Structures are given as C-alpha cells and as structure tokens.
Structure 1
Amino acid sequence: MTYKTALGEEIEGSSPTEIIDAMKAGGRFSADQDRPAYMTGFAERLKEWNGEVLTYSDEKSFVEELLRVGYLTPAK
C-alpha cells in the first residue's frame, strides 16, 4: 500500500514493518536506529508536534495508530 504522511511525503510498503522501514529510511537522523528505537522516538516527536499520544505494542499497532491520528492516510 501507499500512504501519504502529514508532511506530504509518499511512502510504500506491503506490511507494517516495510512501512516503518520506509519512514525510517526517509529520516535525516533515524536511518541507523533499529525499528523499536525509531518507533519510540517517532511517538515522542509526534506528541511534541501535535499532542497526539500513540498507544502501540508492535509494528502493526504502531501503523494503525498513525492512521488513527491522521499522520498517515492511504494515498489515492
């Protein structure tokens, strides 16, 4: 699937891990982080950015939360 971020970027992935890896690869400082560290850091930055708190336990629920808060939307 292809998603658009709140910043207007398009990311693509066929699974939650691929989506997160695509987000991570596009990050200026996050490419070297492992996935759990990236998700934690992203959740912290999102909370600072717009006050949204993500509740997740794995990659699938992380992506679901990004969709819930509107950071990710399916690309048309």
Structure 2
Amino acid sequence: MQYPDDYDWQPPSEADLKVIEARRERNDQISKRMGDYLLKGWKMLGTNCEECGCILLRDKQGADYCVACNELESDHDKDNPAIS
C-alpha cells in the first residue's frame, strides 16, 4: 500500500496511551461482568444501550440492563487523563 508523500505517522502521545489503556481496562471490566451475568442465566440482546452503546442484557424477569451505565464510571471520566 502506497502512502501519500505528506503522510507523517507519529506514535501516540503519553496522554493518548493513557486513554487507550483506560478504555481497554473498562472494556475488560464490562466483558467480565457480562460473562458473569450470562452464566447466571441472563440473555445477551442484539441491541445496544442508547446512552453508551454497550450491548444490553436481559435479566430473568425480562428487564433490560446495561452493565456499563449501571456498574461502571462514565466513559468521560475514564477517558480524561486529568481525572484518572
């Protein structure tokens, strides 16, 4: 693949790396908690949360549940290197 002559790749900054790592950790937490709920008999739906985009689960009583919105800090707090 040819890149334009003015293409100038630069590695991510320290702040960018911190944001990437925070997102990775948050996604890992969401995946683990979702797995725990699935093992308890909850269902994974084919729809996403309107607030954060996370895949929704449905509990045994039929209520939809977003792990990210209900159990984790907001995305904005995790992505802000000044806060975390």
* TM-score, with structure 2 as normaliser: 0.29
- From the two aligned structures, give the one with the greater helix fraction: 1
**Relative contact order higher in (CA < 8 Å, ≥ 6 apart):** 1
**Which structure has the larger Rg over C-alpha atoms?**
2
